[in-house]
Structure 1
Amino acid sequence: MIKFFRKIRYELMGENKTGRYFKYAIGEIVLVVIGILIALSINNWNESRKQNIKEIEILTSIQESLKRDKIELESVIPSNNRIRNSIDVLLNYMEKNLPYQDSLSYHFFNSTTTWVANFQKSAFETLKSEGINLISNNDLRKDIVEYYDAGIESSKWQSETYRNVVINAFENVFNNRFESFWHSNYDELMQKRLKGEDVNPVDVKGQMVPNDFESLKKDKEYLYFLRSLKNINSWHMDRTLNLTVISVEKLIKAIDSELEHLK
């Protein structure tokens, strides 16, 4: 097309038709500008399409991570329920002055276990390396950042606070009241897990045998600790874990909606 205009321009110059020459010259310039604009538009569309594909990939990856977080949380929540159940069993025996049963050694052990969730953050780290603004939806971007930078960190802090309570009790409460702290098959199960075998929290079996159960029934310090531990578990673990599940579910749905829009 440009060669065609150039040929006409040369002919007009040869015929000394200056007015028509300038019209064709301007037309040629307009054509070139239009071509450049079209090329830029196509390039911008291609870049936008690439960004769109990358955003879909990142959001899909984050959603998969969230689904794994949800599974992890839902496996840990029952474990903490069992901790509080064991505490109730122990308190029932002590407050009702019931005789010692061998099965209580498991409940003493289980009441002091700490089950925390392990969160998946690799997809979010990938997003940060690509640039947070890759997520085009402002509200969704804010919710994702809040979950990973605030929600998970808060959950970890709550879990660590609870763990420290148990560790402190190991040093100051259990040391002169039990034969040992935690005698279990934990190491055996961890070896199985390292080999890639499935390990369920209910598979953990252990015991803590009191030095003197009858004295323990009247031990105000230990009873205070046991009642407090149940409340602390409810607040720092059960409440936090359930709230985190709600956040995860909302985020999964929000990403679902955004993916439908992007596709």
Structure 2
Amino acid sequence: MIKLFRNIRKTLINEGKTYNYIKYAIGEIILVMIGILLALQINNWNENRKDTLKEVANLKSLKSELEISLEELKSDYKATELYHNSALKVQNYIRNIPQISDSMHLDFYLSFQISNFYPKTSTYETFKNGNLELIKSDSLKILITDIYEAGYKRILSRYNTTRISSRMNYYQEHFRITSNAKPNEGLLQLRRSFKAIPNNYEFLMNDPKFESIISETIYVGSLLLRDFENTIEVVKKGISEIEDYLKTK
């Protein structure tokens, strides 16, 4: 092709057809520019295609990660609800001081328990460290960031290690633990098999510190339940929107 253009150019010059040569030269320049633009367009298309494939792969991985965390959230919500209800019962015991019974020992034990939420974040961390911009949907990007940076962190911030340590110290000082746990039981079932028996029930029911601990436990538990509910809904929405977005790819 280049040889053909060269021969045409040589013929025009030899024949003295300057005007035709100029037109030819302009045409040749235009053809070269079109070739360059096409090459750039193809290159851009290839790069965009690579980015899209990477975006799809990462979003599929992120969806799987969110699905795992969603099950964890649901499980921890149920556990937190169980512990919260027991704390409410213990508060009622403090106010009414009923005759102690075996069923109360389970509530004493559960009222001091916490549900440790461990969200999976490895895929999101990969996104955040360079690949988040691959997501072309701004609304989806904002939603994903909100799940990890607000939803998860809001729940984790409720677990104040200093206060938990103080509660456990009190718990260990004033209760003794018994259990009829069986092998291979689920976590919630396992915890239901424990009992916390007060060393001095009358003292416990009249101790302002114990009442304060239970009141704070109820307050934090109510906040945690609200946080779990909100985050579960946001994660469900995130999974659904990722699925819808991937259908367009």
Alignment partner, residue 232 of structure 1: 220
Alignment partner, residue 208 of structure 1: 196
Say what the alpha-carbon RMSD is for the aligned residues: 2.6
Query: Structure 1 residues 119 and 175 mapped into 2: Cα distance closer, same or farther (>3 Å)?
Result: closer
The TM-score, its normalising length taken from structure 2, stands at 0.86
Equivalent pair of 1:2/1:28 in contact (CA under 8 Å): no
Give CA deviations for 1:134-174 in whole Å, capped at 9, x if unaligned: 2222232223223322332222111x13x543321223x33
1:53 maps to 2:40: no
The TM-score, its normalising length taken from structure 1, stands at 0.82
Task: For 1:67-86, list aligned pairs within 5 A.
Answer: 67-86=67-86
Distance 1:213 1:106 in 2: 14
Equivalent pair of 2:86/2:108 in contact (CA under 8 Å): yes
Paired residues in the alignment total 248
State the Cα distance separating 1:92 from its structure 2 match. Answer: 4.6
Give CA deviations for 1:13-61 in whole Å, capped at 9, x if unaligned: 2222222222222222221211111111101000011111111111222
1:174 maps to 2:171: yes
Structure 1: state its 5+ residue gaps: 193-197
Query: Structure 1 residues 95 and 128 mapped into 2: Cα distance closer, same or farther (>3 Å)?
Result: closer
Identity rate, percent:
32
Distance 2:139 2:88 in 1: 43
1:15 maps to 2:15: yes
Equivalent pair of 1:177/1:212 in contact (CA under 8 Å): yes
Alignment partner, residue 218 of structure 1: 206
Query: Structure 1 residues 183 and 53 mapped into 2: Cα distance closer, same or farther (>3 Å)?
Result: farther
SS at match of 1:131: helix
Structure 2: state its 5+ residue gaps: none
Query: Structure 1 residues 66 and 90 mapped into 2: Cα distance closer, same or farther (>3 Å)?
Result: same
State the Cα distance separating 1:212 from its structure 2 match. Answer: 2.0
State the Cα distance separating 1:67 from its structure 2 match. Answer: 1.4
SS at match of 2:197: coil
Distance 1:20 1:185 in 2: 102
Distance 1:155 1:87 in 2: 19
State the Cα distance separating 1:200 from its structure 2 match. Answer: 3.5
Task: For 1:1-263, list aligned pairs within 5 A.
Answer: 1-93=1-93, 95-158=95-158, 160-161=159-160, 164-171=162-169, 173-179=170-176, 199-204=186-191, 205-235=193-223, 237-261=224-248, 263=249
Q: Which amino acid aligns with 1:257?
A: D
Q: Which amino acid aligns with 2:120?
A: Q
State the Cα distance separating 1:177 from its structure 2 match. Answer: 2.3
Give CA deviations for 1:84-109 in whole Å, capped at 9, x if unaligned: 22234434555444333334322211
Alignment partner, residue 195 of structure 1: none
Distance 2:46 2:80 in 1: 51
Distance 1:183 1:152 in 2: 34
Distance 2:34 2:147 in 1: 47
Query: Structure 1 residues 151 and 209 mapped into 2: Cα distance closer, same or farther (>3 Å)?
Result: same
Q: Which amino acid aligns with 2:205?
A: K
Distance 1:144 1:56 in 2: 15
Distance 1:174 1:130 in 2: 46
State the Cα distance separating 1:209 from its structure 2 match. Answer: 1.5
Distance 2:231 2:5 in 1: 68
